[in-house]
């Protein structure tokens, strides 16, 4: 993982450990919480047009940013629990997608 992602992962481990949340952080529970947060991320956009979703007010953008953070935090916690290097696996997934979906040549 990148240094900044490693630092975030460590901070999350410390945060959860200080609150004795380990028993609640089974991968299944973290994946479930991630989905709930992803749903909350969608909520502000529910009735917007595409153009409106690209022109959020500062308040809307902040609310969306906080929901994005929740999604990221649960994903990082899940990676912690499963010992997954998110940056490495994301790079690998892009490599796979480049093969599956080659860019059109002009």
Let me know: does 43 contact 63? Beta carbons within 8 Å.
no
- pLDDT in the model for residue 3: 84
Check whether domain 3-100 has CATH 3.20.20.70, yes or no: no
pLDDT at 34: 97
pLDDT per residue as tens digits for the range 15-73: 999 999 999 999 999 999 999 999 999 999 999 999 999 999 999 999 999 999 999 99
pLDDT tier at 106 (50, 70, 90 boundaries)? low
Confidence of residue 1 (pLDDT cuts 50, 70, 90): low
**Burial of 19 per CB tally in 10 Å (0-12, 13-18, 19+):** exposed
Residue 44 DSSP label: G
* CB-CB contact of 95 with 27 (8 Å): no
| DSSP secondary structure code for residue 20 in this structure | T
């Amino acid at each position: 993982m990148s240094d900044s992602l490693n630092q975030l992962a460590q901070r999350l481990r410390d945060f959860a450990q200080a609150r004795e949340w380990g028993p609640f952080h089974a991968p299944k529970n973290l994946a479930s919480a991630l989905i709930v947060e992803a749903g909350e991320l969608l909520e502000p956009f529910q009735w917007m047009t595409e153009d409106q979703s690209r022109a959020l007010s500062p308040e809307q953008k902040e609310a969306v940013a906080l929901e994005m953070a929740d999604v990221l935090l649960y994903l990082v916690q899940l990676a912690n629990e499963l010992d997954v290097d998110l940056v490495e696996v994301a790079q690998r997934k892009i490599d796979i997608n480049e093969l599956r979906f080659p860019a059109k040549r002009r």
